[in-house]
Amino acid sequence: MNLSGLIGHFVRQHSRAYAAAGAMLAGVAALGVWVPRKVGAMIDGLAAHRLGGNALLLEIGSLLLIGVAIYFLRVGWRQTLFAAAYQLGVSLRTRLYERLALQGPAFYQQRRTGDLMALATNDIDAIELAAGEAMLAGFDGSLTLVMVLGVMLLGVDWRLAAVALLPFPLMGLAFWRISSHIHKASTDALRCFSALNDHVQETLAGVRTLRALGLEQRSASQFADLTEHAASASLRAQVWEAAYEPAVGLTLTAASALTLGLGGYLVWHQQLTIGALTSFTMYLGQLIWPMFAAGWVLSLIERGRAAWARLQPMLDAPLAVDDQGTLDAVAPGALELRDVACAYPGQTAPALSHLTLTLAPGQTLGLVGPTGSGKSTLLRVLLRQLTPQAGSVRWSGQPLEAYRLHALRAAISWVPQESFLFSATIADNIALARPGASRADVERAATLAAIHDDILLFPDGYDTQVGERGITLSGGQRQRVAIARALLADNDLLLLDDALSAVDTGTEARILQHLEQLRQARPGRSAIIASHRLSAVVSADRIVVLRDGHVTEAGTHDELLALDGWYASQWRYQQLEASLDAS
């Protein structure tokens, strides 16, 4: 769908608002066209001494009433049309947000955050202007042009109209050339703004790293270059937009000169009255708005086309995971993986290969293995962030694809490797999964995650603002707040993806003890703990060692030690490392 199709579909959806605005615009145009004829008739009446006294006052009063009516009609159509046009921006932003929310990690690996933010702001604003300002100016200008030309041709003098229109084809050619340059300049301006947005977003996100490495000056220099490029691109677009005015001015100047020349000749030979020439001259002045409107409309349309060319691929981008399920709830049951194979997009080597696992309700599964062995990939498969190329994953006897995404993810509490906190209070971050949770519930979850005592040390306690991305808290504190958030959700399946890596072993032991207590209190709750630290999975009902995406060892802690394989050697190494740290 191109931009005109998008706007046409939107106009049909809001046909009543556009029709009402069009009717008021038609009233404005009709009254505006009537004014010059009325003024011309008044001049001829005064010249012939037919108009004076109370009659003249009545004519002047009627002109004032027409002016007041035009004012209120203009206010009315602006409110009606813009109220409708803004809905297009709301609709596009909603569509973009919903699309982005359903995309998987592979999509975001190929897109930059700043560019996506620019699409949701500048680009949609440009499309919104094309549906509002451009539609308004185009309709108003076209209607005024048709009515004014009609009166000039049929109501005043066709000879004057024919002579006045001679320069207009040249103006049309100039508009065509200018609009093509505006399209290119607008595309460059939007692209440069996205690059600038990317740099600002990355700089603010990594400001502490930049300071630590002493790269402030380098970043400032890059920002200055990007700002210069964005300003230059915007200036080029503005320069070409400004070219419309000289084209209109030259055209109307030439038309006025031709009109006055022929009109003076006709008046001299008494073939035209002075009032008629005055009316025609006023009508010619009224053509200024349609000409400027044409330039303004072309400019807005080209900006909208450039923006839509960038936005449409995002709205049409295929989803990494299709949400075609029909089940709205996950019943408690076993989680089964049968011969699962999965590879990341664009990679040939599988991240998981012939993987078969079973997790009974109420059990805890430990996932361990070297870096890149597939632990996080397995959790992403369970979350349906990735789709396996082979094999099947079933929960409670149903394929994961049978569940709607929101239902599946509502049954899972997930704590990723990099815990993300929102710029809100600690209590709000913990209560994210249960917005209606009481403060007592929040504090209970924080106690289970061994973060309650740390929170009380802050001056504002649970009302402490964590700052952008939780910058106020340490890495270990952010992890524990994220764990508290997951525990408060109290879902059937808990996934911990190396979520204890930033806490000390003593805190880790307390959290694991609390998790065991929770499991005993709620027998049907299962957990999968992926960790590079083996002490986190010692008490798991079953431990699986992954290497290169497949299972190499499996069993309980004692059974794996007896195998004397990778797990046993890694356990001895970590125990030795812990004893050295303690000493």
pLDDT single digits (tens) 331-385: 888 889 899 888 887 777 888 888 889 988 888 899 998 888 888 889 988 888 8
Note whether 359 and 529 are within 8 A (CB). no
Give this prediction's pTM: 0.66
Note whether 542 and 363 are within 8 A (CB). yes
- CA distances to 34, 71, 141, 300 from 75, rounded to whole Å, are 20, 6, 17, 22
Instruction: Indicate whether 41 pLDDT > 70.
Output: no
- Tell me the two tokens of residue 89: 């921006």
Residue with tokens 């356990």: 571
Residue 95 banded pLDDT, cuts 50, 70, 90 = confident
Q: List pLDDT tens digits, range 245-272.
A: 777 677 777 777 777 677 676 767 777 6
**What single-letter amino acid sits at 441?**
D
Least confident range from 142-146, 314-318, 335-339: namely 142-146
Q: List pLDDT tens digits, range 458-516.
A: 888 888 888 766 677 777 888 888 888 888 887 888 888 888 777 777 888 888 888 88
Phi/psi at 458 (nearest 5 deg)? -75, 145
CA–CA separation, 552 and 341 (whole Å) = 15
The residue-averaged pLDDT of 96-116 equals 76
> What domains, with CATH codes, occur in the chain?
3-316 (1.20.1560.10), 325-411+494-583 (3.40.50.300), 419-490 (3.40.50.300)
Least confident range from 93-97, 197-201, 224-228: namely 197-201
**What single-letter amino acid sits at 425?**
T
For residue 272, what is the DSSP state? S
Q: Name, in order, each residue with C-beta under 8 angstroms of 248's C-beta and a sequence gap of 6 or more.
A: 171, 288, 291, 292, 295
- CA distances to 16, 92, 130, 446, 579 from 12, rounded to whole Å, are 9, 16, 15, 53, 74
The per-residue pLDDT for 425 is 87
Residue with tokens 């072993």: 505
CA–CA separation, 132 and 191 (whole Å) = 23
Residue with tokens 């006025």: 256
Helix (H, G, I), strand (E, B) or coil at 14: coil
The per-residue pLDDT for 8 is 76
- Tell me the chain's radius of gyration from C-alpha atoms: 36
The per-residue pLDDT for 286 is 65
Q: List pLDDT tens digits, range 152-210.
A: 666 666 676 677 777 777 777 777 777 777 777 777 777 777 777 777 777 766 776 77
The per-residue pLDDT for 451 is 87
The per-residue pLDDT for 188 is 79
Helix (H, G, I), strand (E, B) or coil at 480: helix
Residue with tokens 């502490």: 208
The residue-averaged pLDDT of 281-295 equals 69
Q: List helix spans (H) across 103-134.
A: 105-109, 113-118, 124-129
| Greater pLDDT, 542 or 147 | 542
Note whether 462 and 455 are within 8 A (CB). yes
The per-residue pLDDT for 276 is 64
The per-residue pLDDT for 19 is 75
Residue 48 banded pLDDT, cuts 50, 70, 90 = low
